Structure 1
């Protein structure tokens, strides 16, 4: 009865956008809605399976759980073992199409931050909200991928699509050495024309955003040394300033000279004294000292995040130059550890967001602006962004990531699956 009360112009205004969908795309949206309960059942099964990064058996079980889902869709499924990284490995599924359309790489991860010892272990449905470990990061993203591919199969758009799916098993705590841990993902990026990453969709103040860029996440270690001796002789030509003044000089100079948009260099841990040391993992420091003793050692460790390779290189050069300007009687050494490269905001990435916004218009949805990269963490998409046009944040909406109470907006699974399936169907028709 409510429909009959709407004015005629309102009905006309509500329908044109949906009319832009092709018959196959309309079939995709219908299939996703029809399969909604099935998708949620899969999500619940995944969330109830612990797959903390260091629970290697649990991570592998996730792979076995997903194998039949992808084999039923015509994918060839493999598990890449990486024992040298002390991690479980990666899930890979490949679908061969007609070889003429865009090659697409779909990225997510089967591991979570919640290990088997965590008290947060179960999926709970609360109306349009679901709570559980990894429910949005990133098992909700996997649910979106499966729902999208099922709908493409139902609508007939999957058969000609060339798609590779890679679910890493160590996104939350990447194995070492990183070049080995991410070797296969990088090769997949080189194969692909387009990469879609299915971590959570960015949403603020009720508005959804597209992620065309992510900053890097690398580490640095700064070590300063000084001449030790009686504290009453500090600043003298014979003993100099000591290690703590030297490391403080360097850190303060970075703060005053390097800060710029999208560049951060957090100091995570610091210690100084006689002696001072840091453990092999770079997370625990020890130091001892007396007020009347000039400190011999000082150590600081932190991260470095940048938006582009050029910004990263320039920051490192400045940091090294500042570290080399020693106070009298001191020295300093700065080293960098490469972890995750930046996903720069390229024209190709932005073109993918333009495509998503075209789909939004066809679905009668608002357009999405670019999400500020400084508000997102690093992710696996950064490892392929140098080789393929990449769009991140294709997963569902959620929050409280990496903490008990992690949640997901249930309706966003279907919405994101529709966007992804229509985008992939259109890309599959385009010539490489």
Structure 2
């Protein structure tokens, strides 16, 4: 287990002679990162210019293949986890276990290969838009983070320091649209987290280099269906006909809003809705309905998402929503079903301590302190599947920018070198911690 005391011992209490030696070594790390920066940017542009929308399996595998060769070149053992069982391209897992420093913490570094941009999207390549900015599909979310992972490890390898580390890199091929069942699609990530002591995620967080993520809200989908008695609209509200499916759906949604919308860090959104005499549900985003304005609706449906900051908040909210659903209007019925989803990444003292160490690295390198992102501003991410299995976890260490998930996605390349430097130095400092005991 890594404790706050062990972190502070290294980060705050070095005797002067050791501190001077560490400064010299860390300067070498920064110089090495800077020396290979052009090579790192070339790799970034090469990856961004390959479409790897989640369902473009060939593109995801191509990006994974390039990164596999990169990790092979610095001595990692690489594995491609085929995604056939969960209808996705698959994942890249790269492992380096030290023979010289076996008591060093085991560190999981998390990225993803896929983007939100489909194979036929017209946003396909990198463009220099000036002022140290590059536009491109997935450049911040998160091929920039993938390259930061590799570049930091490459710098340590070239300096002979990688041998002091125990590292496992997992780059998933389905972060933007997870395969199902999640038990299979996230197995490689969860297995790596069980192995690890520390998890580092390389998403772009809220786009601010002076922040990182210590807590994320989980994300769960839900589907609400209601039914009523079809009849001529002149008979609505009568004892024989009742209120119809649409009024029942409206009642439930309004009660959700009135009873739950003020809960801190909780959000729920009805994203798509339809109702009428007949419905045809064609998947997560398309529902066709038929009805007439003078006919009481027989059926209605709404699909939405729920975000909670802790497992307890999620369970309590789901229970409250089910209780609201059960209070039917006359002659109606309704059911609420929750999908599989991303668990919350809970705020822990270990996460706070790890952020403090990362912030100190930033300050020691001449940059600004790093503070925690408000969980309200941090969407779901793969690290949520890992965080409960490690002593410490932070996310948001990737390439910063604006416009993620849109055709205006632009990277601030001034953050590229900074976060490679900070990652490499953080890994170096972590390599000197000793685990007090093995994980259970």
- Secondary structure at the counterpart of residue 308 of structure 2: coil
- DSSP 3-state at the match of 2:399: coil
Q: 2:91·2:173 contact (CA, 8 Å) conserved in 1?
A: yes
In structure 2, what is the equivalent of residue 106 of structure 1? 109
> 3-state DSSP class of the match of 1:91?
strand
**Which residue does 2:272 correspond to in 1?**
269
Q: TM-score, normalised by structure 2?
A: 0.90
Offset, 1:195: 0.6
Residue aligning to 1:175: 179
Q: Which residue of 2 aligns with 1:115?
A: 118
Aligned: 1:415 with 2:422 = no
Output the CA distance in 2 between the equivalents of 1:330 and 1:316: 21
> Aligned with 2:45: secondary structure?
helix
Q: Is the 8 A contact 1:270 1:301 kept in 2?
A: yes
Report how far residue 101 of structure 1 moved. Answer: 0.9
Q: Aligned in 2, Cα 1:203/1:170: closer, same or farther, shift over 3 Å? A: closer
1:374 matches 2:376: yes
Matches within 5 A, 1:328-407: 328-388=330-390, 389-407=392-410
Distance 1:112 1:295 in 2: 40
Tell me the alpha carbon deviations over residues 269-313 of structure 1, each in whole angstroms, 9 at most, x when there is no partner. 11111123422x232122222233221111111000111101101
Shift of 1:203: 4.0
Deviation string 1:331-381 (CA, Å, 9 cap, x unpaired) is 110100022111111111111111111112211222122111111221111
The offset of 1:157, in angstroms, is: 2.4
C-alpha separation in 2, matches of 1:124 and 1:287: 42
| 1:202–1:208 CA contact under 8 A, matched in 2 | no
Runs of 5+ unmatched residues, structure 1: 1-17
Whether the 8 Å CA contact 1:70–1:93 is kept in 2: the answer is: yes
Give how far 1:256 is off.
0.3
Q: Report the counterpart of residue 35 of structure 2 in structure 1.
A: 34
Residue 127 of structure 1 deviates from its aligned partner by 4.7
Aligned Cα root-mean-square deviation (Å):
1.6
Counterpart position of 1:185: 189
Q: Secondary structure at the match of 1:305?
A: strand
Q: Does the residue aligned with 2:347 lie in a helix, a strand or coil?
A: coil
Distance change (3 Å), C-alpha of 1:20 and 1:395: farther
What is the CA–CA distance in structure 2 between the aligned matches of 1:381 and 1:348, rounded to whole Å?
A: 15
Q: Aligned with 1:358: secondary structure? A: helix
Partner of 1:10: none
Q: Are the aligned partners of 1:20 and 1:362 in contact in 2 as well (CA < 8 Å)?
A: no
Match of 1:3 in 2: none
Q: Which residue in the other structure is 1:314 paired with?
A: 316
Looking at structure 2, the residues matched to 145 and 51 of structure 1 have their Cα atoms a distance apart, in angstroms, of 18
Q: Structure 1 CA distance, aligned partners of 2:207 and 2:222?
A: 32
Separation (CA, whole Å) in 2 of partners of 1:114 and 1:295: 37
Pair 1:430–1:283, CA change in 2 (3 A): same
Cα offsets for 1:29-60 (capped at 9, x unmatched): 11111111111111111111221211111111
Q: How many pairs were matched up? A: 412
Output the CA distance in 2 between the equivalents of 1:339 and 1:43.
Answer: 30
Q: 1:96 to 1:221 in 2, by over 3 A?
A: same
Alignment match, 2:304? 302
8 Å CA contact retained: 1:103, 1:428 = no
Is the contact between residue 267 and residue 301 of structure 1 (CA under 8 Å) also seen in structure 2? yes
| TM-score scaled by length of structure 1 | 0.92
Q: Secondary structure at 1:287's aligned position in 2? A: strand
1:429 is displaced (CA, Å) by: 1.6
Which sections of structure 2, spanning at least 5 residues, go unmatched?
Answer: 1-18, 436-440
Shift in Å, 1:184: 1.1
Describe the SS at the equivalent of 1:295: coil
Question: Does the 8 A contact of 1:266 with 1:303 survive in 2?
Answer: yes
CA 50–289 in structure 1, closer or farther in 2 if over 3 Å, else same? closer
State the distance in 1 between where 2:21 and 2:139 align: 33
1:228·1:296 contact (CA, 8 Å) conserved in 2?
Answer: yes
Point out the more displaced range, 220-229 or 357-366: 357-366
| 1:138 aligned counterpart, secondary structure | helix
Task: Look up the match of 2:81.
Answer: 80
Q: What secondary structure is seen at the aligned counterpart in 1 of 2:141?
A: coil
> Which position in structure 1 is the counterpart of 2:59?
58
